[in-house]
Amino acid sequence: MPTSVGQWPKYRKNILINKLNPEKNLQQSPRIDAEHCNHLFAITQMNSTFLDVENKFYTHKGHFNAQNLYFLFFFLISMILILIYQISVERFNIIYYFSAFLGGSIFFVIYPLFFNYKPDNNNFTHFPIRFNRKNQRVYFLDMQGKFQSGNWQDMKFCIVQPNSFQGDYEIWGFILNKESQLIEHTVAIGPPVPSIELLESFWGMICIYMAEGPEKLYPKDIKSLENDEYKIFSKVTFCNDIVGKKESREFSYYRVDINSFGSKFFYYLRFLILESVFWKWGRVYAMWDCKVPMWPESILNDCTIDKDDPYIVNADINRHFHYDAKSRKVYIKDPDIEN
């Protein structure tokens, strides 16, 4: 069943973590070098106080709407072909055509909308997660639309493979009951990916930030990163432009293209079967229909940014780097960055 804000799945509560059959338990101490980190396009902003990332649903925002557009497109094409056939081959039968239209609209329009509309629309543009290194706490907006908070060291984290046809892996974090150790709240951190190693590189970035601060993750010398994709991904060289606002149409288009960055084949395949087109339209509509989450005052008071913080990174970083899914390359547009 969907949650109160429409997202899937509804996380299980009051059970032990091992009931979820995790693929791997994660430790809060850094296990990899900073050079092997990967931002996975999940970072929203970074500074010396906190690191903001997105949850799993942000990556695929608008995809349910794209499925609805697929059904609508197939329905309209089918009705046009039926109309052409009736006019050219046999006499037009208004009763037959109306019956086909009514039956098709129920199966291809109303039925998909009933199941696919709420997951993308009429909820939040994104579900932010904040790692505060100064007070060592984790804040996040849960699937019921409520803000939760847990101690970084007391929370448990693991890699799971939810029951899905894609078989992707995800990082889940848990706030546990101190006495029973049963799950009270769950948060899915970052995007679903097909590789455990990719998640470990992303988790390494979070752990290094919480343990050592932002210095190793800050793209100070952009020129030194040129032509080295691994180094580019190991720094915060991309931020989702969604802090305190909705995505612009241009950024929504860019964000959908980025989802195919790892494979030229899938980029062109999605283009040929119109998936990228429908997904972009679906994402733009979802952003328009959803509301922007706002951190409560109590959390903002815990997350004050120093005025002279030298490690502030936000969506302005995107003007220095362009991730081109078509060529599968990262281009440095502006090598100069203010410190």
pLDDT at 198 over 60: yes
The confidence band for 268, taking pLDDT boundaries of 50, 70 and 90, is: low
**324 token code pair:** 């081109």
More confident residue, 108 or 330: 330
- Listed in sequence order, the residues at least 6 apart from 163 whose beta carbon sits closer than 8 Å to its beta carbon are none
- Chain centroid to Cα 314, Å, comes to 17
274: pLDDT strictly greater than 70: no
- What are the distances in angstroms from CA 122 to CA 5, 12, 92, 295? 8, 23, 41, 19
Q: What is the pTM of this model?
A: 0.87
Cβ neighbours around 169 below 10 Å, total: 20
> What per-residue confidence (pLDDT) applies to 165?
52
| Residue 119 scores a pLDDT above 70 | yes
Average pLDDT, the chain: 86
Distance CA 173, CA 148 (A): 12
How far apart, in whole angstroms, are the C-alpha atoms of residue 249 and residue 239?
16
Cα(224)–Cα(268) distance, integer angstroms: 31
- For residue 9, what pLDDT is reported? 61
Question: What pLDDT score was predicted for residue 133?
Answer: 97
- Using alpha carbons, select from 235, 189, 150 the residue that is nearest to residue 54: 189
pLDDT exceeds 80 at position 41: yes
Percent residues over pLDDT 70 in the chain: 87
What pLDDT, on a 0 to 100 scale, did the predictor assign at position 1? 38
Looking at residue 5, its pLDDT comes to 44
Q: CA 213 → CA 53, 62, 158, 207, 240, distances in Å?
A: 15, 34, 22, 9, 20
**207 falls in which pLDDT band (50, 70, 90)?**
very high
- Tens of pLDDT, residue by residue over 215-241, are 999 998 888 787 788 899 999 999 999
pLDDT band, residue 65 (cuts 50/70/90): confident
As a whole number of angstroms, the distance between CA 198 and CA 37 comes to 9
Model confidence pLDDT, tens digit, residues 146-186: 999 999 999 999 999 886 556 789 999 999 999 999 999 99
Is the pLDDT assigned to residue 334 strictly greater than 50?
Answer: yes
**Alpha carbon distance 136, 41 (integer Å):** 23
Asked if residue 300 has pLDDT above 60, the reply is: yes
Instruction: Give tens-digit pLDDT for 66-116.
Output: 888 888 888 888 888 877 777 776 666 777 767 777 777 776 677 777 777
Token pair belonging to 66: 């794209």
When mean pLDDT is compared over 11-15, 96-100, 154-158, 273-277, the highest value belongs to 154-158
Q: Report yes or no: 175 and 185 within 8 Å, Cβ to Cβ.
A: yes
pLDDT for 74 equals 82
In the structure encoding, which two tokens stand for residue 243, read together? 């802090």
Lowest average pLDDT, out of 22-26, 172-176, 249-253, 260-264, goes to 260-264
Cα–Cα distance for residue pair 199/186, rounded to 1 Å: 17
Q: Quick one: pLDDT at residue 58?
A: 92
Specify which of 12-26, 146-160, 268-282 reaches the highest per-range mean pLDDT.
146-160
CB neighbour list of residue 3: distance below 8 Å, 6 or more residues apart: 10, 143, 144
Whole-number pLDDT of residue 102: 76
Is the confidence at residue 338, as pLDDT, over 60?
no
Cβ pair 11, 201 in contact under 8 A: no
